[in-house]
A and B are shown apart, each in its own frame.
Chain A
Amino acid sequence: MKKTLLASAIIATTFIAMQTQAANVPAGVELAAKQELVRGGGSEPATLDPQKIEGTPGSIRSRDLFEGLYNQDGDGNQVPGVATSYDVNADNTQYTFHLRRDAKWSNGDPVTAEDFVYAFTRAVDPALASPYAWFMEIPSIVNATKIIAGEAEPSSLGVKAIDAYTFQVTLERPVPYFVKMTSHQTMFPVPKKVVEKWGSDWTKPEHMVSNGAYKMDAWIVNEKMEFTRNTHYWNDAKTIINEVTYLPIESPNAELKRFQSGQMDLSYELPNDHFKQLMRDIPDEVSVTPKLGTYYYQYNITKAPYNDVRVRKALSYAIDRDVITKFVTGTGELPAYSFTPEVVNDFSPATPEYATWTQKERNEKAKALLEEAGFNKNNQLSFSLLYNTNENHKKIAIAIASMWKKTLGVNVILENQEWKTYLETKKHQQFDVARSGWVGDYNEASTMLDLLTTTHGNNDGKYSNAEYDTLLTEARTMQKPATNYNKAEEIAIEQDMAVAPIYQYTEKRLIKSYLGGYMPNPEDNIYARDMYIIKH
């Protein structure tokens, strides 16, 4: 018994000593003996295969299991992951990444450039049919588009392993922000040997091998997913959390109950209806941070009268965004007057003129524009406002419809559709005005602005402006594209009001006060390995 006690004491001392070496724990913070993080994971992820993941639930988990060339810090800046540095040629078309030699898979094998070649090739291979294959087309990796279309062999992709620890990517055109894209899961490495051995079963807990700070222990669909420390992870010595459990809870109310009962440390979201009460009762445990995304209304520009800029402007001006963000959503959202949110990296969208007016002035201007467009008491404008089933969308739609009615005398029929039906309706331009939202895939303004280019697959309103398209095309090769982005914003919003931006998204979470190291960034790229549980 004495021996056991002594052994326990030694283990405990070693453990505490190890914990105090953690680089990001502030001095004086005493860590809890039990370093287990339970966090909400949204819905059940569709897959954990990095090249197949397309939803947030999968991507948040993948960041604990896998590590790409670069990670992100709390401000959304790129920090080294498997790559320690990179070189780029003069015209931004060839990126050479130097990989760390101590990066290992959870089975102890080294992570090599070949693993990245395999993963990148896999992402575009039609045989895998990755839903995010298009992500490899954005930076124009050589032959990516042709391979996806089945017109070239996957092996012809512009990626190569110069040696075991040097990985090179060649692009068809210059893309200065390419490195920013490498923290996305589609570009994470996967273990070739394991994938080829187990096929689609390689993501099962008994087979999965990962290179992130954690490896998977259990995956029980709709109940939980359990990760434990990957002792082969290159920075394992500085990892504090030993176990991470993800709970797939779709209902924010159910999640709140788990949080309140102490069974969860970090929630996926929080119920909007409880926001004020939570801010009153537990303000220290509510986190609201800006997110790289915009909530907006989309006009169907293929039909009259939404092809008339005066109508589009009138409708947009008459939306009192302050009322929407303060009293309808009321959970810290910022009113949006530009399409690109302010939080985006390396770009501050200029304030459009209409944002500087008072709401009264905007309303007056809106009335005049609508009158000018031929709509008045005798010829009232009537249309349907499409949104997908969701209480918040409904509340916002009711509020905006009432603003339009009150200010402009416009009659709005609210049209609520189930998610997939709504997507189809929008895709086929069978709407007048529709709710939309967009969250960026990488922290650069083009992730938003590209959406309004003529050929973009999500430009459901079919806005098209040749000058805008040219500006965005030019921006791809520019070292400092902010001038083009500002001009593009000016054309799309100030001049054409292609869409009506309403608010900038925020990330809202409940975080136990004893959880340290939570570093939210605009893309919500957070990592359990940065966190720690404080003694409580």
Chain B
Amino acid sequence: MFTFILKRILEAIPTLFILITISFFLMHSAPGSPFSSERALPPEVLANINAMYHLDEPVINQFFYYLGGLLQGDLGPSFRYKDFTINELIAQSFPVSAEIGLWSFLIALTIGVGCGITAALRQNSWLDYSVMGVANLGIVLPNFVLAPLCILFFSIYNHWLPPGGWNGGAWPYLVMPVIAMSTSYIAQIARITRGSMIETMHSNFIRTARAKGLPKYRIILQHALRPAMLPVVSYLGPAFVGIVTGSVIVDVYFGTGGIGQHFINGALNRDYSMVMGVTILVGTLTILFNAIVDILYAVIDPKIRY
């Protein structure tokens, strides 16, 4: 297992490098510059700004400047937020998204798996249809609809929760972002769990277990659950990365200050270093959690060995 982890880490380095290289050149090939604005800057002013950020040099030089900084852990200055470095912005916003994400993930996992198993065990019953109906609703109800609905219900009509802000992560500020963030994941996890559980329950080894007269709860807990969880675990790796790196909608509607807004704004503002910083963060987390998923696979299914 140790060799496997080491191998994954070593594999991650060239993967990340390729990701950084492609992202860097793609970003720089987009039309417009970080400093193009409605008020066209006089050429001499633009020249001063470009010189300050090395934008007056060939892109390849800029790439090496960037790599140089990166090797020292410096993600560079933000082209947009001039009073902050990318390190500072990510350090400020990522913990917010991570906290919302972790809560959302735990809730999505618990409720999603619970609903999925319940629906699978009562396949084609009213319970199955009800649970999956709600799950489908969760999938088709995007969070840009859910977020304002939450504010309408919890804040405007009932004054139970503050409509936005973060306030250091105090729980009243956490509730609605977590609801908006977790709903679609609950639905997805429930669907995957249900499908996988139904398939497992129709397997030969379950039939054998039934024939041997094992009680149902033992069949489910000891025999069906582990193999049924494999597709769920596969889904959880990328889902976890997606969930902890935040959502633009959640950030916009609830003003949490999470990292989600940086995804879109970085690209729209041509904030090259912001896009790169977020890409590296997501890339690293994706590689890390895919490795964790692989390890979990081995834990869940003893047949899998690395």
- Judge whether B51 is part of the interface by a CB distance below 8 angstroms: yes
Which residues of chain B are near A347, meaning CB under 8 Å?
A: none
Interface residues in B, total, Cβ within 8 A: 51
Q: Which residues of B contact A249 (CB under 8 A)?
A: 164, 252, 255
A52: chain B residues within 8 A (beta carbon): 82
Taking a contact as CB atoms closer than 8 A, the residue among B41, B49, B80, B92 that contacts A46 in the complex is B80
Name the segment of A11-19, A73-81, A257-265 touching the other chain: A257-265
Binds A, one of B32-40, B109-117, B122-130: B32-40
* Pair B42/A137 contact, Cβ less than 8 Å: yes
In the complex, whether A162 has a CB less than 8 A from a CB of chain B is no
> Do residues A46 and B82 form an inter-chain contact, with CB atoms below 8 A?
yes
- The answer, yes or no, to whether B178 is at the interface (CB within 8 Å) is no
Please measure, in the bound complex, the distance between the C-alpha atom of A38 and the C-alpha atom of B285, giving whole angstroms: 37
Cβ contact within 8 Å between A131 and B255: no
Q: A203-243 CB contact bits vs B (8 Å, 1 = yes)?
A: 11000000000000000111110000000000000000000
Q: Are B148 and A458 in contact (CB under 8 A)?
A: no
In the complex, whether A327 has a CB less than 8 A from a CB of chain B is no
Consensus secondary structure, chain B interface: loop
The distance from the CB of B85 to the nearest CB of chain A, in whole angstroms, is 9
Q: Are A129 and B257 in contact (CB under 8 A)?
A: no
Contacts A133-B45, A257-B152 given; indicate if A250 touches B81 (C-beta within 8 A): no
| A134 in the interface (beta carbon within 8 A) | yes
Contact check: which of B251, B255, B269 meets A247 at CB < 8 Å?
A: B255
What CA separation (Å) do A126 and B163 show in the bound complex? 44
Q: Report B82 CB to chain A, min CB distance, Å.
A: 4
Contact B45 A263 (CB under 8 A): no
Q: Cα distance A38–B268 when bound, in Å?
A: 28
Q: Is A84 an interface position by the 8 A CB rule?
A: no
Q: Are B45 and A223 in contact (CB under 8 A)?
A: no
| Complex interface bits, A126-154 against B, C-beta within 8 A gives 1, otherwise 0 | 10011101100100000001001110000
In contact, A148 and B41 (Cβ under 8 angstroms): no
CB-CB under 8 A from B42, the residues of chain A are 133-134, 137, 148, 457
A150 with B44: CB separation less than 8 A? yes
How far apart sit A220 and B81, CA to CA, in the bound complex (Å)? 12
Q: Do B83 and A254 have beta carbons less than 8 Å apart? A: no
Contact with B along A189-204 (1 / 0, CB 8 A): 0000000000011011
Say yes or no: A44 contacts B81, CB within 8 Å.
Answer: yes
CA distance in complex: A420, B267 (Å):
10
Q: In the complex, what residues of A have CB within 8 A of residue B83's CB?
A: 47-49, 200-201, 203-204
Report the bound CA distance from A420 to B261 in whole Å.
18
Chain A interface (Cβ < 8 Å from any Cβ of B) = 43-44, 46-49, 52, 54, 126, 129-131, 133-134, 137, 145, 148-150, 200-201, 203-204, 220-224, 247-251, 253-254, 257-258, 260-263, 418-421, 423-425, 427, 437, 457-458, 460
Q: Which residues of B contact A (CB under 8 A)?
A: 30-33, 35-42, 44-45, 48-49, 51-52, 80-84, 89, 92-93, 96, 148, 151-152, 155-156, 159, 162-166, 251-253, 255-258, 261-262, 265, 268-270
